[in-house]
């Protein structure tokens, strides 16, 4: 995780902790809620400065080789085996046979059936 994202994710918990500290100070009579708004502005400013510093410290991303480029995967010729060749139906009896056609021949491939 980069530092910018880490600081960004700490934003809400930091404000919740500040609300709790402000509530505690209000109970003790040290600081009222109406007078605590500068603390929220200071916390927001510190977090924004930390985010900008994290962005400035991050290295720039490398531009792609061309639009839509992707990193090619390594190719291993032994990793892929082509599927076996089609040999036709398993048996004639499974699909039935055409009347008058010799066994093992396709009746539509006969010369008299071609158009």
Cα separations in angstroms, 15 against 4, 9, 64: 17, 11, 39
Per-residue pLDDT band for 39 (boundaries 50, 70, 90) equals: very high
Query: Does 107 map to a domain?
Result: no
Q: What is the pLDDT of residues 89-111, one digit of tens each?
A: 665 555 555 555 555 666 666 66
User: SS3 for 57?
Assistant: helix
Range of the domain at 37: 3-57
Cα separations in angstroms, 73 against 22, 70, 76, 82: 55, 9, 9, 19
Its pTM stands at 0.51
Query: Does 50 map to a domain?
Result: yes
State the total domains in the chain: 1
């Amino acid at each position: 995780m980069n530092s910018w994202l880490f600081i960004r994710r700490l934003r809400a918990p930091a404000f919740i902790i500040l609300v709790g500290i402000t509530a505690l100070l209000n109970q003790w009579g040290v600081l009222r809620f109406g007078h605590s708004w500068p603390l929220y502005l200071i916390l927001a400013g510190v977090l924004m400065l930390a985010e900008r510093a994290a962005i400035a410290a991050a290295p720039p991303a490398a531009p792609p080789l061309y639009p839509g480029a992707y990193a090619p995967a390594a190719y291993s010729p032994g990793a892929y085996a082509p599927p076996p060749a089609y040999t036709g139906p398993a048996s004639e009896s499974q699909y039935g046979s055409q009347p008058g056609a010799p066994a093992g021949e396709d009746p539509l491939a006969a010369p008299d059936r071609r158009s």
